[in-house]
Amino acid sequence: MIYDALLVIALLMVAAAIVVVPTGSGIEAGTLWFQTYLLVVWWAYFAVCWRMGGQTVGMRAWRVQLVTEGGERIGWANSALRFLVAGVSAAAAGLGFLWSLFDPQRRAWHDLATATRLIVIPKEEK
């Protein structure tokens, strides 16, 4: 989602600044430790959101919540697996996401791998 992408980009910029500004120099392109650091920061955003409330900022806007098949919050290990499988889904030309169009329960590869699903939260009456 666009909402989450904008937030993640800003978060990665802050995370990069935390490393680059104190040193006063740039980071060499392709530095493995720095790429891993940014990947962990990226995962941490999703993991904290999914673990704490089952929703990222974008998911809140669309009233969608992530739960396990039992209706519980996702765990830390499952959030890491979900993040990795979603990356594989995207790297496979989006096939993992398109899979949800053919799955009877509308689950993508990362949902299947982690036994999770998205539920729609009904609007509250005012």
Per residue in 48-64, pLDDT (tens digit) is: 999 999 999 999 999 99
Q: Which residues pair with 64 in a beta bridge?
A: 120
Exposed e or buried b per residue across 30-52, where buried means at least 16 C-beta atoms within 10 angstroms of its C-beta: eeeebeebbeebbbebbbebbee
Per residue in 68-114, pLDDT (tens digit) is: 999 999 999 999 999 999 999 999 999 999 999 999 999 999 999 99
* The model's pTM: 0.89
